[in-house]
């Protein structure tokens, strides 16, 4: 690690990544106006896999680990998120609720390693739960219970994928071969793609999918390239590179800007209303996440990717 503090260049890189992750929620809404959610997610991961997989060697990671990561990210995190954002929850609120992945990551890591959650992690959960309950109290105001449950399910799948990636990286390092995070994401997406295609054909139907694909025009490619190349390939790789150069305590708090950009973009571009209750719920959830990311009593917890 070169420094405890981000350089100006790397600060701008970190801000660019979280800007892409935050504004991606608006881009997803644009895409959902042209394609059904599951086939759009499948197209996103198709562009993640091809042609990159022909230029990247498979990482020294068990196939089972790649399958867990790919299925959780593809069918779990983004499959559920896209379905929820197709009219069941507003993009601004979705960008906030997805940050609860941090608490799922903590719980899953504790389950896998036996490490007990720390006091500040438990305290951070209290305002986050209060924020979720406040959102539930306003069911029907651009938010449905089903949409909230789906996004929470996506956040849980994100937490599982974080643990899978963490175990893969530790295993590769133990074998003396540091894992290439870009290759890991690309090869794991081999499992995301077929699962999403099958789910789309079963749940959305061949007729709807075919009609939507034939009716789509060039703007859908812009949204798909943004989601795959900018959000996934560039975002994941740059974030992993920053974490390799700086302490996680320096980099991870930058992820708090994701919902800031998400809510701002949704309000500006999609004219999503921001009543007091929504802002209060956002502050409560982000306060809980912030307590976990900023309170460092002894050692650092690494946070995963966003959006």
Band of pLDDT at residue 149, cut at 50, 70 and 90: very high
* Least confident piece of the model among 36-50, 105-119, 133-147: 105-119
pLDDT in tens, 102-130: 888 888 888 887 777 778 778 888 998 99
Q: Could you give the CA distance from residue 266 to residue 91 in angstroms, rounded to a whole number? A: 6
Answer positive or negative: Cα dihedral of 119, 123, 124, 126. positive
- For the segment 40-63, the average pLDDT, to the nearest whole number, is 94
pLDDT at 3: 57
Share of the chain above pLDDT 90, in %: 51
pLDDT at 248: 66
pLDDT at 249: 65
Q: Could you give the CA distance from residue 50 to residue 34 in angstroms, rounded to a whole number? A: 22
Mean pLDDT taken over the chain = 88
- Asked if residue 306 lies in contact with residue 18, where contact means CB atoms within 8 angstroms, the answer is yes
**How many CA atoms lie within 13 Å of 13's alpha carbon, on the beta-carbon side?**
17
> Which pTM does this prediction carry?
0.87
Residues contacting residue 58 through CB under 8 Å, at least 6 positions apart: 183, 187
Q: Could you give the CA distance from residue 110 to residue 85 in angstroms, rounded to a whole number? A: 30
CA angle 45/148/152 to nearest 5° reads: 60
pLDDT in tens, 215-247: 888 899 999 999 999 998 998 888 888 877 787
Neighbours of 81 (CB within 10 A): 29
């Amino acid at each position: 690690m070169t420094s405890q503090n981000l350089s100006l260049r790397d600060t701008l890189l970190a801000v660019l990544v979280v800007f892409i992750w935050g504004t991606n929620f608006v881009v997803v809404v644009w895409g959902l106006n042209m394609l059904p959610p599951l086939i759009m997610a499948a197209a996103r991961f198709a562009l993640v896999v091809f042609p990159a997989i022909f230029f990247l060697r498979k990482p020294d990671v068990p196939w089972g680990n790649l399958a867990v990561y790919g299925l959780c990210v593809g069918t779990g995190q983004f499959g559920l998120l896209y379905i929820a954002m197709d009219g069941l929850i507003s993009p601004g609120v979705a960008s906030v609720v997805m940050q609860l992945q941090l608490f799922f990551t903590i719980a899953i890591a504790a389950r896998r390693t036996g490490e007990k959650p720390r006091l500040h992690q438990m305290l951070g959960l209290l305002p986050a739960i209060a924020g979720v309950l406040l959102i539930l109290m306003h069911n029907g105001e651009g938010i449905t219970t089903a949409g909230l449950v789906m996004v929470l399910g996506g956040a849980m799948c994100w937490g599982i994928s974080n643990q899978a990636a963490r175990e893969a990286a530790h295993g590769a390092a133990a074998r003396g071969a540091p894992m290439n995070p870009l290759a890991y994401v690309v090869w794991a997406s081999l499992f995301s793609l077929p699962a999403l295609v099958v789910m789309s054909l079963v749940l959305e139907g061949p007729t709807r999918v075919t009609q939507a694909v034939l009716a789509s025009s060039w703007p859908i490619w812009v949204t798909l390239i943004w989601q795959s190349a900018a959000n996934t390939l560039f975002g994941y790789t740059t974030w992993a590179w920053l974490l390799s150069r700086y302490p996680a305590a320096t980099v991870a708090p930058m992820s708090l800007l994701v919902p800031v950009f998400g809510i701002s973009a949704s309000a500006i571009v999609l004219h999503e209303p921001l009543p007091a209750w929504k802002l209060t719920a956002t502050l409560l959830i982000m306060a809980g996440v912030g307590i976990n990311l900023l309170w460092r009593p002894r050692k650092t917890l690494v946070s995963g990717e966003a959006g």
